[in-house]
Amino acid sequence: MNFPEAARTVPRCPTVLVVDDEPDQLGLITAFLNREGCTVVAAASGEHALALPADLPVDLMILDLLLPGVDGWQLTTELRSRFPGCPVAISSVLDLQDYPAAEEWLPKPVSRAQIAAILARRVPDWAGR
């Protein structure tokens, strides 16, 4: 059976980089993103995130601020230079005025609805699957 080229084109799943040193938070955000149809690259520290390949196709970054070693402020700066144009969502228990500049803010505790709303606003390939 022959299908037209357009019918064979499947949009790729958005890739989201999540950095959080708390295993429960990392697991929760990862589960929410997986349920929304995303591919998740999870990192438990800023150092792990910075060790990822520079050519990783990242559509969104969700970064915790209170990380040991390379903290969220430094990580945000370094990842913005590595992935220019990629939106950043800051996730933290801190007050919003303490967050670095970002496209999105994701105060903890995080909900699946918050994740879906950020995807809808910031990731063009995500169609609310």
Does residue 39 belong to any structural domain of this protein?
Answer: yes
How many domains would you assign to the chain?
1
C-alpha span between 48 and 35 (Å, rounded): 24
Torsion sign (Cα): 74, 39, 36, 6: positive
pLDDT at 13: 86
The ranges of the chain with pLDDT < 70 are 1-12, 125-129
Per residue in 43-68, pLDDT (tens digit) is: 999 999 999 998 999 999 999 999 99
Does residue 95 belong to any structural domain of this protein?
Answer: yes
pLDDT at 124: 82
Structure tokens at 82: 């590595």
pLDDT at 98: 87
Does residue 82 belong to any structural domain of this protein?
Answer: yes
By residue range, what is the domain housing residue 82?
A: 11-110
CATH number at residue 30: 3.40.50.2300
Does residue 85 belong to any structural domain of this protein?
Answer: yes
Structure tokens at 69: 């070693």
Nearest 5°: phi and psi at 128? 65, 40
